[in-house]
Structure 1
Amino acid sequence: MSVQFSGWEVVDDGASFPGVELQPSQKPQNRGVYTMYHGTSVASARIIIANGFKQSSGGMLGRGVYVNHVVFKLHVRVGRVKRIDKDNHPMQFTWSTQGYDTAWVPPNCGLKAVRSGLEEDCVFDPKRVKVVGILEASQTPKDSGVYTMFHGTSVANARLIIANGFQQSPGGMLGKGVYVSRDKKKAERYPLKNDPSNRVVLELRVRVGRVKRIDIDNHPMQYTWSTQGYDTAWVPPNCGMKAVPSGLEEDCVFDPKRVKVTKPVNKSYDIRAIMSSWI
């Protein structure tokens, strides 16, 4: 039996040595325990919480669970891991019969079945997968709510933001505002053209105010929501908008005063380190 999921950060590595932290492009260590994510429908989420995971009848890595809309946060014991990184891999559907517990498709490996380029994983035994929470980014932000969100930027811009606060971007897919997301994976991608060593993810406290859902291309309020009584525009994950090819959640907050930095989340940075390196 198998479970399909994607996205991880290390919780505990029981393999070669403890404390290993993986980037999304790094292979999970054999016998490691990771935080991962699984998307499903609301109805299926209720069944999973009550009864645990079940197999699907098939998929790009064989039998597993392939669904969307609600995103579970999981603890996964990956066991022995097999890398599947090309079309028609000789073990694409048979890895579980050859001593492996998990199949891993690395990001941007060129498999036609993974158009997004994001990593994909399949765990054979559902007992290795435990639900520990629901990812907030898959749920509609409530009006007047206060949320933890994330913003990816360069080291230089992080210094300016920490010192002076956010400024409105002059434009973007949702018009003027501060672009943020409750999905840390989204923020980690930015700035898109920067080397990873020049990226900082800031953790934020965001007062969303009144929220407008923008979930289709050419939405009539895509650029005008802020003039019609809304404080935040929300693009839900996997809504199909062409401007969000990653399928990850996007938010735009019109008033920068609604966004407050709480800390950088990169382990290699803290606020004092960023500010002390100012030249």
Structure 2
Amino acid sequence: MYHGTSKEAAKRIRCDGFIPSNDGMLGRGVYVSRNIQKASRYPLNVAEGDRRVLVLEVNVGRVKRIDRQRHPLQKTWHAAGYDTAWVPPNCNMVRRNQEEDCVWDPSRIKVIKCKGRRMYWAEDDMMGPRPPCLESYSEPANNSTYVMYHGTSKEDAESIKRNGFTPSEDGMLGPGVYVSRDIQKASHYPRNVAEGHRRVLVLIVNVGKVKKIDHQGHPLQKTWHAKGYDTAWVPPNCGMVPSGLEEDCVWDPCRIKVTSSHSKPVNNSSYRMYHGTTKEAAESIKRNGFSPSEDGMLGPGV
């Protein structure tokens, strides 16, 4: 789970643990969420650059669902024998309709790490297993060029398009620019930015000399560039990240060219897009082309 706090309070919590708030929507307790977007907006009275998100491991104990205002146990759930109160998403208890949890006993919470405002890709991928794109199964060939993707905020996308990438100082593969041939991977970042404010940059990447890093603790996991490699590649489904999606780290930003940003489509432009279908229908489409659906939210079409 996650808890948003100030830079100073984050240090205190990591040293001394949580102090439950005296009151709140769910009464006394420590307020947390499984939604990092929820946590990243707090505290509301702290400037964004001074906020921190604590990544937590929480043993929730016995849970009580509180799904409406004035629930009979809204603030008395602990007295009724529960350890955690849970507000489900989209129940109109909170603005933005994101889930919220209140844990009575701080000893149920363990701080794993602290994230700053910029959350670059790292080993703490929280998406859960997803099917990788087909291209990402093949190892990038040395000195080849690929279409790749990078997820970022709307503001940072404009900065990158003007000035180029600034490599992250560290991450699962050490310093570099983190990208992927799998758009699913890129589209979930940054986690501390609301979905409507994210952008996916479409890139042309010359990977140079590539090193495959396929397990945690690999001897070159963070030192591949010192051994003469230009890109580190984490293949899909190798156990390096829970999502099972491929990840690449490019040492030199000059190897990366931004071609476009996924946001509002521009009239008369061409884009790479995706269509989900069955195995059998995919073969039919490849042979015969698409047949428009007869109806849908936007009417007939593909």
Under TM normalisation by the shorter chain, which class is it?
Answer: 0.3 to 0.5
The alignment's TM-score, normalised by the length of structure 2, stands at: 0.44
TM-score, with length taken from structure 1:
0.48
- Specify which structure has the higher proportion of strand: 1
Of structures 1 and 2, the larger Rg is shown by 2
